[in-house]
Chain A
Amino acid sequence: AQSVAQPEDQVNVAEGNPLTVKCTYSVSGNPYLFWYVQYPNRGLQFLLKYITGDNLVKGSYGFEAEFNKSQTSFHLKKPSALVSDSALYFCAVRDLRSNDYKLSFGAGTTVTVRA
């Protein structure tokens, strides 16, 4: 079975401060990992993914994420948050040992960046 947990329902930061959104995963094999962002009244937008290779993945809008196999984590980071980063963020995983196609999404983390 595969699953992903986002331990924080909400993250609040001041503009200009570093932003971290946490994600931990559980798979029996190796994972594919994704981050998506959802702005109000919009669909999800892809931010970045980890398939293999470098543990630090860079994505859209200045975001990056670090894959840590020993801690089974894939935290999303941005060095300097903007008010426009306020949104709902989803982590998703797929177990490479799985024979199906399915991605498992976390419950989401609401990020609020205050001016």
Chain B
Amino acid sequence: NAGVTQTPKFRVLKTGQSMTLLCAQDMNHEYMYWYRQDPGMGLRLIHYSVGEGTTAKGEVPDGYNVSRLKKQNFLLGLESAAPSQTSVYFCASSWSLAGVGNIQYFGAGTRLSVL
């Protein structure tokens, strides 16, 4: 009964380094999302996917790339990390688009620090 699993849970990067965050869901959801959470700003959507092989930009996509090669996995990549990308990253999934009233299920988050 895992739901949405994010790895890693914590990471510290130096400016300019790259990394990939992995999100896996076992609920057979079509839709997956990556958010970042910053103090006093709520959650902001980075990228999302409406199905295997598709991705789309959210509110704050710059500096990030994503891939959805398998239905259950959604990867978030940082090609050249910047201190402004220090944040807590959440992955979520849903049966259908969250904006049509469907519930999103969230992972536990990845806390990323870029020095």
Contact = CB atoms under 8 A, between A and B. Distances in A.
Interface of A: 9, 32, 34, 36, 41-46, 49, 51, 90, 94, 98, 100-103, 105-108
B9 to A, nearest CB: 9
Given A49-B103, A103-B98, A107-B40, A43 B48 contact: no
B85 interface: no
Contacts, number: 59
27 contacts: A9-B40, A41-B109, A43-B90, A43-B92, A43-B106, A43-B108, A43-B109, A44-B92, A45-B106, A46-B104, A49-B101, A90-B43, A94-B98, A94-B99, A98-B99, A101-B97, A101-B100, A102-B45, A102-B58, A102-B99, A103-B98, A105-B42, A105-B43, A105-B44, A106-B42, A107-B42, A108-B40
B62 interface: no
B41 interface: yes
Contacts of A94: 98-101
> Can you list the 5 inter-chain pairs with the closest CB atoms, starting with the nearest?
A43-B106, A105-B42, A101-B99, A101-B97, A94-B99
Contacts of A49: 101, 103
B98 to A, nearest CB: 5
A46 B43 CA distance: 14
Classify chain B: how many residues form its interface, as a range: 20 to 34
Contacts of B106: 36, 43-45
Contact of A51 (B4, B45, B101, B109): B101
Contact of B99 (A43, A45, A103, A108): A103
A32 B25 CA distance: 25
B42 A108 contact: yes
B103 A46 contact: yes
Nearest to A94: B99
Contacts of B43: 44, 90, 105
A43 B100 contact: no
B99 A90 contact: no
B108 A101 contact: no
Contacts of B48: 101
